[in-house]
Structure 1
């Protein structure tokens, strides 16, 4: 365990810190504006399981001081790549996207297909999702809106490209700058989604090829014309300022993964979506996003503005050296919503991949071991969150094909006279299925309740009343609040091997429903603390309370107020009397 005297040797400086275990292996690398404050925070207060486990393994601390946060980011990235510490998230690889650019050289203009992006190019289009599409666009632009193609200069005769109509002819003559301006503007319009002229030019080339009996080339142009909508298409969501490049970043995380989405907009058109999903570790969502974007834009084109999801609560004016914009219009929010949906889908897809590798076998094993009627491709898991009798919350998480179906998750506020968990479980099971039973394909193959014999029998009683036949099992926890065994209404207690895939899957189910329901319970608890006591008065609205608080910020200031003075604000004699009565009481 690290002693305080070791911590006191760490400087208040910007840089990176390295944690070593007893075998002198680097197990974690981090960066910080103030290394001392960041490192000290690991050894103070209460942390989550992973952080606590890390701290217990730390035997030595080292650090490297640098000049600024940008250098710290770069150093952290290099150290993680070099040592691959097991507690670090391995972020983006050295991905360099393909671009189509226009280069100006010696007064002439050329199309180039590149991956090593440089902001000095005259024009740049991209990034593109893969090389094949970018190359196809590159070849098409050379054919339809030609610039200079060959490297020749001051020739007596034109090059072959010029004779085929694929070059400006700068190899043997002076080219009017208007020729380049015209074709570059046409290329701009193509990427803005205005491809009508592009289609006309391709059609002409197709007809010429057909007239020359070059049917293979004619067929090539025909296939390109038919695929134009897939190459560049106007989006349903447009950004008004089409002269700037905007990127949008958002993320979604659950208790296992974080999914980051970056949407690249060029000329007001969505040209590419970058998706990154990784397992959560020690870093906060903000740290993961900052590290990821720092690596992403170090090797690729930076936008004019970077829009960040408001839900991430990031107040920085710049990220990776890019100015951060504000999604303060309906159109920008619409785009951010699109990114958020894709982030959720990214995690869904990861769980789907897990299901394909091990999920189906696990579901078949569950069917066998619990003697279910069929393989439980649709599972619904129930949990109750409460401390005492206040803000009792019921949570339901749904798994389809072994992966979470987030849109089907539900929470219920439980306000019933009965104060026991079995009655509360009965309540939410009944609420869940009393209407759902009439909807086709809505009933699950298996219900899993958090609890044992009481909760399972309670759920079965409700299902019998609703005339539903659904298998029900319970997951029982040990005294450390960890999944211990299955309770089955007929087989009773079913013990599982803790290292089995089935145990891990069921434990994940139980953890997810618990986290889902407890988060809503805590939110209700916090909101109750934040709420104004005056809200307990029947008939008073939030606007009236807000007006009152401008003159009387707390209840003590209201105690001796004159009713006529109070009524000047409330403008309701009976309500004013209620307020005075409530305050004095």
Structure 2
């Protein structure tokens, strides 16, 4: 529990953590020191050297502290408090997105799941991972390979057990001891310790063979082969058995990107990248130190060696802390040559590429805010488009971009009910349905809406928002012909520079909305073709059916067509044309 003090003179001359707050009682900075009194007193000097400290002290209002027994405990507590409070003036991991973790639950028969929150519940966590798609694929592979349970409630054999994807512990299909061996193997898998898994499985397989449990031995053999296949597909390998994290950053005055390569058993197992916030007026050494403390404050595997670019503050204490977490001594290395140095350079180059990309994104958003005179930075942009052929199979699409990157999990598609052809009516229906749903669900609206089209499409979008009392959401239209931007209450379009990052971003969103709408429209048209009355006509296969639909656009027009008109369709002979005509006109004279 923290203790509040009125001045730095009231602080004890002991090791601990200090917490600075502003007038709104918000935590704005967390620090640690072996002497709380001496460290905090340095903030109250008249001639502060650091611009960052001067800005911090302008916001400072009150102070609290927590005493710890050791400097290592202070380091751990500092990292925990920074993670919890995300103070404005600390260098910290930027939480633009919540990264997924893989969790091995603490249950009698554990499950393997994806989670975005961590708790002190005794479960094992691996991550964070930045590519959720890869995490899902890995989890699918693991579940199929090791046949662990997937259901929340163990209330009887489920479908997975019937199709041989689960050992059915709920029906005593496997003993708790044998199931735990599987979980131990999965734990090793996520640590990248494939050789240890294979050694353990080989031992089990031989024991099973000796006991004439040939089915079990066969399953173990298949598991070994699958893991060997994973090992062979790793993309960089070294001759020695390395177990390392390579940490490098690309840093400028306003932005820092950190990249971590995970090397397990001599192979690069993965790459994660993270943005850092609060880096202004901080040295690269301070940023790297803050990253290491916050990165390993999350539950994760600690390798035997951590390779970094340069010495960092608290390096000795950090090494002791990580050694405690690992349960064995670790090394912190700053190489100057050799393969470790080359790995470090590779990580640094990756960080530089990402930082340049992030700067382009930031510039695009800044330009959009400026050109469109928006009240806020447009972090969330939603784009809309409609697709139909002569009003048939009308669909609408909504795509969402966050910080200039697509969020495909937020995409939505709609079957439109507006009779066509009426593109304006369809757009109004689309916008209305999307934001009616947002209101009902209590979601936050986007920072900007982009519709594919000019003045007309913009007008109907505005009318839809007005009917929902959402006129405060900025809306623009982007017309394809000249790439002009139309904004409300302005007769002339806004012409953005052709090489503008802002224009490129709007084009990407518009084109993605169009692609998503067209792909859905094609899917529906394809279904129509699959279940067409034409299927019942002798001589009409998929190719002739497609030619008929291309020529007439829909089945109703084919029904009304004369025999001569049907014969004009590419690929039809007279016999097939007659079959089609008389199928729809059975009472006509042949």
After TM superposition, is the score higher than 0.5? no
Q: TM-score, normalised by structure 2?
A: 0.42
Q: TM-score, normalised by structure 1?
A: 0.43
